[in-house]
Amino acid sequence: MLNYKKKNIAIGFICHDIAMMAQMAHQIAVMYLGNIVEVLPGENMKDIVSHPYTKALMGSVFEIDMDYTKPIESIDSEIPSPLDVPPGCPFQNRCEHCTSKCQTEKPELREIEPGHFVACHCL
Ligand code: SF4
């Protein structure tokens, strides 16, 4: 079997299925409107997701043992046009934690724990 670390080989996989990525990736970068909003290890990612968008994505994952009587949460509002991304945080019009700072200043990715980066003013 090929030892990817020994050979310095990395494989990038672009996918819309975060549940599948959580099963197979060592490291995951979550993007929203062309911006990386969170980078985190794939292992146990559902326990450490922090960005509101990543949390919403994880909340949409179906699991065999989930409570099917609970309503499925959806993100309010529509995704903005990629040709007209608002200033500040790209997720602002869909985020329940949005503040005035979020509307003017784009959050930078910062490390909140080793190997875990988030672009959010409220974390
Ligand atoms: S920066 Fe503000 S709007 Fe953007 S995800 Fe964080 S809390 Fe929400």
SS (H, E, C) the chain: CCCCCCCCCCCCCCCCCHHHHHHHCCEEEEEECCEEEEEEECCCHHHHCCCHHHHHHHHCCCCCCCCCCCCCCCCCCCCCCCCCCCCCCCCHHHCCCCCHHHHHCCCCCEEEECCEEECCCCC
Ligand 1 atom closest to 121 (CA): 1
Number of separate domains in the chain: 1
Q: What is the pTM of this model?
A: 0.88
Ligand 1 in reach of 75 Cβ (< 6 A): no
pLDDT tens readout for residues 35-48: 999 999 998 888 99
Q: Which domain holds residue 33?
A: 13-61+79-118
Q: Is residue 28 part of a domain?
A: yes
pLDDT tens readout for residues 48-76: 999 999 999 988 888 888 888 988 778 87
117 CA to middle of ligand 1, Å? Answer: 14
122 CA to middle of ligand 1, Å? Answer: 6
Ligand 1 in reach of 89 Cβ (< 6 A): yes
Q: Is residue 67 part of a domain?
A: no
